[in-house]
Structure 1
Amino acid sequence: MTSSASLPDVAQLLPDLYQLVEIESPSGHAEAISRVMDVVEGWARALGAEVQLLAGGTRSFLFGEQQRPALILTHADTVWPLGTLEGMPFRVEGDRVYGPGTYDMKAGIVSAIHALRAIHASGGWPAGGLRLLLTPDEEVGSSSSRVHIEAAAREARAVLVVEPPVADSHALKTGRKGVGSFVVTLHGIASHAGNKPEEGASAIAEAARLIPAIHALARPDAGTTVSVGLIQGGSAVNVIPATCTLTIDVRVSSLAEGERVTASMHALTSSDPRVRLELSGGLNRPPFERGPQTMALYARAQALAHTLGFSLTEEVVGGGSDGNFTAPLAPTLDGLGAPGDGAHAAHEHVRLDRWPYHVALLTALLREV
């Protein structure tokens, strides 16, 4: 067993986490996100990293000789708007540290930096080198960074994603559902609801007929969920509604299910010939399907965790990450960030009693993969 003396000191982790959390960085706010990236770049340069500034705001930090490096995936954006710290301040309460973006995923960035520092201090980078990719838009679908993530994965021997583990556990993520969003817009005909309702064609009524058919596309036994999450329509209570929009969330465990749902969505038709149906959207993250290469990485992580004195488990989860993009291209293991709970919620926090073990695990994996 590894003694606790070999684990990183929480007192060293916390100041770096505080520095990142105090820079609020909501998705879409390029200047704020850049400030987080500037801090991380400073840390990386202190370790001798070669820095690459990529299109769309992504930054890449290269450590050691690059011959199929191990890739660490991180993101600088959070879901929290500017000003959140006023009502949700960074604070330590017992064995938990709270604040916006702590768990998802600024503590993951700090984990990666401290792992890199430990490796650097021990005498040099592993053969093949290491690469840290820091992206600006993971929380909103990675539209600008996806091309860089996939390009880096094609060159990598393995991908380690420092998103947090499964909430309130030591469970890594060995698979994720593919994520999609569709928008169905119905265009009907407006008319006076009292005087001439027969001249109108209700977009809302047609939406009501379509919703059961859309929900019927779900196949829970195959891991497929389909949910109409937003409905917007009508202009006034005394007007036959001319427009209605349905926004639909889709989660799939396999590419085949993604293709089936996509084809079925495109086959939707209006039962009222006076109402025109318009469809947009699709899958924006492919499924991260659990495969033998990921499970081999997990088995190694599990063995290393045992030597560090804790038990590791794994799960397939419904939420997406940038690991969805890399899993088809390189062996990928997710959930290697800081343990805690409350992603996107007011009780977001990191478990300080568990965090050092996961930093030590990440360090060991980076040395060995």
Structure 2
Amino acid sequence: MEIPVDATLTLVEDFLTSHGLTGPGSNDMKPGVVMAIATLLALKEADYQAHPVRLILVTDEKILHKNAPTKETIALLSKGAVAGFNFESADPDNSVVTGRKGGAIVDLTVTGIAAHSGKEPEKGRSAVLELAHQIIKAEAMTDQAAGKLVNCGLISGGTSENIIPDHAHTGIAVRFTTKQQGDELLAALQEQAAHPTVAGTTVEMKVATKIDSMDTLPGTAALLEKLQASARLLHQPVPHGKQTGGASDAGVLTAHNVPTLCGLGIMVGGAHTTHEYGLVSSMFDRAALVATTIAHLD
């Protein structure tokens, strides 16, 4: 069963192909929205009714849904789904993503005791010194071979060179390959915060925001095979699956046991630069590919 892309979108394709698609924002994520809508229109045109299909558009993924219940909303709306498809932009190697890293932003705040560093140093407890211990321990958790990354990218503290500082802070980016790794890293950061090295200081650890890793589930391989079969049916090059580093909301679905494929969007280059571009022809090929795959779900 071949699912055609809506004829109206063919006109859009012709326009975009002739005019090109370049510049900031041209590949992440606006084309993905167009592709998702094209997929729905194709399924509607084919009178597809085997499964209900739900489109979720998200506006705050880049800041990991900080200060918003977006992850909970995605989880609720995708409950019971047989499959998930994420139109994140794709590499120009005809790949689709079967696994992604997750990430978290962690705040470590150290409280010490201020004192004059010349007259009464014995009364002080340095928050900056404790922060230094915390940073060294945190960065030591990095294991690039295993896909675990901890980066203390922001630091602040103290008020003057001659005052023992009573406050200090670091913002930490944590990356992990699996949900288990993420849980272990956050637990380790919490444990070290509970046991400061500098006596008289206290450390508060707070997870500012977190996005789950996109784990490869038992059903992921079967879903990829269906996508590949659809590519053959459409006489398209057969895509291959791969793991990648950047996080996405596909992780929310896999965390709730929904087999998911990601990186199904426009094939791109120069992401997040002024010379960002997208291969327009891939938009409509992949919309047809996803629609055809949905049509063949059990």
Q: Which one-letter code corresponds to 2:41 in the other structure?
A: R
Q: Which one-letter code corresponds to 2:264 in the other structure?
A: L
Query: Equivalents in 1 of 2:137, 2:230: separation in Å?
Result: 48
Q: Shift of the alpha carbon at 1:286?
A: 2.5
Match of residue 322, structure 1, among 231, 240, 249: 249
1:295 equivalent in alignment to 2:221: yes
Per the alignment, in what secondary structure is the counterpart of residue 27 of structure 2?
Answer: helix
Match of residue 138, structure 1, among 22, 42, 61: 61
Q: Shift of the alpha carbon at 1:295?
A: 1.4
**Equivalent residues in 2 for 1:204-215 (5 A)?**
204-215=128-139
**Equivalent residues in 2 for 1:139-154 (5 A)?**
139-142=62-65, 143-154=68-79
Residue equivalent to 1:41: none
Percent identity at matched positions? Answer: 29
Q: Which one-letter code corresponds to 1:356 in the other structure?
A: F
Report if aligned partners of 1:254, 1:287 keep a CA contact under 8 Å in 2: yes
Unaligned runs of 5+ in 2: none
1:355 equivalent in alignment to 2:279: no
User: Which deviations, in whole Å up to 9, do the C-alpha atoms of 1:109-148 show, x marking residues without a partner?
Assistant: 10011122223233x1231232111233222223322222
Structure scoring higher RCO (CA < 8 A, sep ≥ 6) equals 2
Report if aligned partners of 1:13, 1:110 keep a CA contact under 8 Å in 2: no
Normalising by structure 2, report the TM-score.
0.85
Report if aligned partners of 1:228, 1:246 keep a CA contact under 8 Å in 2: yes
Report if aligned partners of 1:234, 1:240 keep a CA contact under 8 Å in 2: yes
Report if aligned partners of 2:6, 2:45 keep a CA contact under 8 Å in 1: no
Residue equivalent to 2:95: 171
Query: Equivalents in 1 of 2:14, 2:31: separation in Å?
Result: 9
1:106 equivalent in alignment to 2:48: no
Residue equivalent to 2:170: 246
Report if aligned partners of 2:121, 2:164 keep a CA contact under 8 Å in 1: yes
Q: Shift of the alpha carbon at 1:230?
A: 1.4
Per the alignment, in what secondary structure is the counterpart of residue 182 of structure 1?
Answer: strand
Query: Equivalents in 2 of 1:187, 1:141: separation in Å?
Result: 27
Q: Which one-letter code corresponds to 1:164 in the other structure?
A: S
Q: Which one-letter code corresponds to 1:348 in the other structure?
A: E
Q: Shift of the alpha carbon at 1:12?
A: 0.7
Query: Equivalents in 1 of 2:80, 2:54: separation in Å?
Result: 10
Normalising by structure 1, report the TM-score.
0.70
Query: Equivalents in 2 of 1:96, 1:171: separation in Å?
Result: 22
Residue equivalent to 2:206: 280
Match of residue 97, structure 1, among 11, 21, 28: 21
Query: Equivalents in 2 of 1:13, 1:331: separation in Å?
Result: 30
Residue correspondences, number: 288
Q: Shift of the alpha carbon at 1:194?
A: 4.9
